Amino acid sequence: MLTEPASEIEPGGPTLKARYVSTALFAGCIIFPILQITSIVIQEMPLYTAMTFLAAGLYLLSRTRYYQAAAKIGIILVAILPFIALAANPVWDQRGLMFQIITWPVLAVVIGSQILSPRVETLLAIILNAGLIISAAVHPGIAIPVAAEVIGAEIALTVLVLLGNWTHMYYVDQLERRNRDLDERQKELRIYTSLLTHDLGNDMQVVIGGIELSTMMLPSQEGRIPEQLKTSLAAGERMASLLRLFSAPPPDEFENVVSMLEYIAGLAKMTDKNISIEISADKESREVRPTSRLVSTVFQNLIRNASQHAGDNPSVEVMVKMQQEILEVIICDDGPGVPAQFIDVIFEKGFTTKGGAGMGLYLTKSIMEHLGGKIELIDLVDRDGCAFRLLIPIQQIAKDELGYSRVLRQGPRI
């Protein structure tokens, strides 16, 4: 097609804008020769002929990824066209003046609505109208009453076009925002589905195994029954917290990220009485509120990973600190660490060394990427074991009119 955008242009809004620019420039290649032939005022000056060749060159440029440059150059040419025409003709009647003053400035604003920001578009309209008023006032062949009437009509049309463009852009922006929110929730839903399959399956096995063991020991070892039931209770609470991910957003459950970690550590100690967890945090990090429940799932997966792989009496240290707009969390244990041959594959889907689905670290990485953060395996020079470093952008949560959380990102995506 004659107006089909270049293949490297991003689909969606940019494609539509590129097609609009190409269509406008292609139309100019047809209209300008007609104007050169039919215009009585410009017949002795090849103004529209020159515009034809310029429009053709810009049309070819618009078929590449530089369509915005083609549009901006075209807007400038259309904007200065009435000034060149006014200067070229010594005497103007009302008919010729209306065509030059109304057509080109309004057209420049219309084309600018697709490329320029509302502020720049408004500034363009103001400069054009101020320039036309000055040009008409100093031109000896233009009657002031006639010029005032024509420029007044042009200003009214320009204002109507601006209002229409602003209204259109507002609703387009609202639609794009809704689409982004919908896409964000669809991504979260896919993560929640994977979490439901992985985490609830693991915790259900703990609950069932604990209850079965308690039942078997009931006649002879009643003293150990409460311990097994506590483990089952902790796993059940983890399942309940995961199920709450699917419910409507409740009030904030934790005062800050550190209190969330302390709660998760308590659940881990109920599940594994031999685990030791120490949490240290600087003052700034204690003022950071958790902005997504998925963050708690990341912490739970990593602490559970330490409990399963760091030996019979695992010791876990969690260090939290702020780095400008990034929250850094390091979770390390005193286990044997990750064998060298597995370092490059531990985050891959299906990787496991102890059976199971091999989804824990893969899901953890997926969640961190969804939140705009990063997880990496690091070496700590002062201790052995396995250490994970989390970098989480500081975010701000707002609620929309339906009560759903909407993330307003402050920190940069990593």
How many Cα atoms within 13 Å fall on the side-chain side of residue 159? Answer: 6
Supply the DSSP string of 256-295, one letter for each residue.
Answer: SHHHHHHHHHHHHHHH-TT-EEEEEE-TTGGGPPP--HHH
pLDDT band at 400 (very low <50, low <70, confident <90, very high): very low
pLDDT band at 406 (very low <50, low <70, confident <90, very high): very low
Give the pLDDT score at 309: 79
Average pLDDT of the chain to the nearest whole number: 78
Give the pLDDT score at 405: 38
pLDDT tens for each residue of 253-272: 677 888 889 988 888 887 77
Give the pLDDT score at 345: 81
Give the pLDDT score at 225: 60
Which tokens is 150 given?
């024509």
Give the pLDDT score at 121: 86
Instruction: Give the count of beta carbons closer than 10 Å to the beta carbon of residue 3.
Output: 17
405-409 vs 387-393, strand pairing mode: unpaired
Contact 36, 56 (CB under 8 A): no
Contact 390, 373 (CB under 8 A): yes
CA 315 to chain centre: 38
pLDDT of 402 higher than 90: no
Give the pLDDT score at 280: 92
Give mean pLDDT, residues 275-288: 88
pLDDT tens for each residue of 65-106: 888 898 899 999 988 888 888 887 787 777 888 888 888 888
Give the pLDDT score at 407: 38
Helix then strand count (H, E) for the chain reads 11, 7
Amino acid in position 395: Q
Which tokens is 109 given?
């604003």
Burial 135-153 (b: 16+ CB within 10 A, else e): bbeebeebeeeebeebbee
φ, ψ for residue 408, nearest 5 deg? -110, 105
pLDDT tens for each residue of 143-173: 888 888 888 888 888 888 888 888 877 787 7
pLDDT tens for each residue of 299-328: 888 888 888 777 788 889 999 998 878 889
Burial category of 379 from C-beta neighbours within 10 Å (exposed 0-12, middle 13-18, buried 19 and up): exposed
Give the pLDDT score at 215: 59
Q: How far is CA 63 from CA 53, 55, 111, 361, in A?
A: 16, 12, 16, 45
pLDDT tens for each residue of 102-138: 888 888 888 888 788 888 888 988 998 898 888 888 8
φ, ψ for residue 309, nearest 5 deg? -120, -5
Q: Which of 131, 73, 134 is nearest to 105 (CA)?
A: 131
pLDDT of 362 higher than 60: yes
Which pTM value belongs to this model?
A: 0.47
Query: Which of 165-179, 233-247, 331-345 holds the top average pLDDT?
Result: 331-345
Helices 225-243 and 257-271, axial angle in degrees (round to 10) = 140
pLDDT tens for each residue of 3-21: 777 777 877 778 888 888 8
Radius of gyration of the chain (CA): 33
Give the pLDDT score at 15: 84
Alpha carbons 232 and 381: distance in angstroms, whole number: 37
Burial category of 173 from C-beta neighbours within 10 Å (exposed 0-12, middle 13-18, buried 19 and up): exposed
Burial 187-218 (b: 16+ CB within 10 A, else e): ebeebbebbeebbbebbeebbeebeebbeeee
Residue ranges in 323-395 assigned as alpha helix (H)? 360-370
Which tokens is 238 given?
């983890």
> With pLDDT > 70 as the criterion, what percentage of the chain qualifies?
74
Alpha carbons 68 and 115: distance in angstroms, whole number: 7
Alpha carbons 343 and 386: distance in angstroms, whole number: 11
Alpha carbons 97 and 103: distance in angstroms, whole number: 10
Amino acid in position 246: F
Give the pLDDT score at 318: 93
Q: What angle do CA 385, 389, 390 make, to 5 degrees?
A: 145
Contact 333, 314 (CB under 8 A): yes
Amino acid in position 387: A
Give the pLDDT score at 353: 60
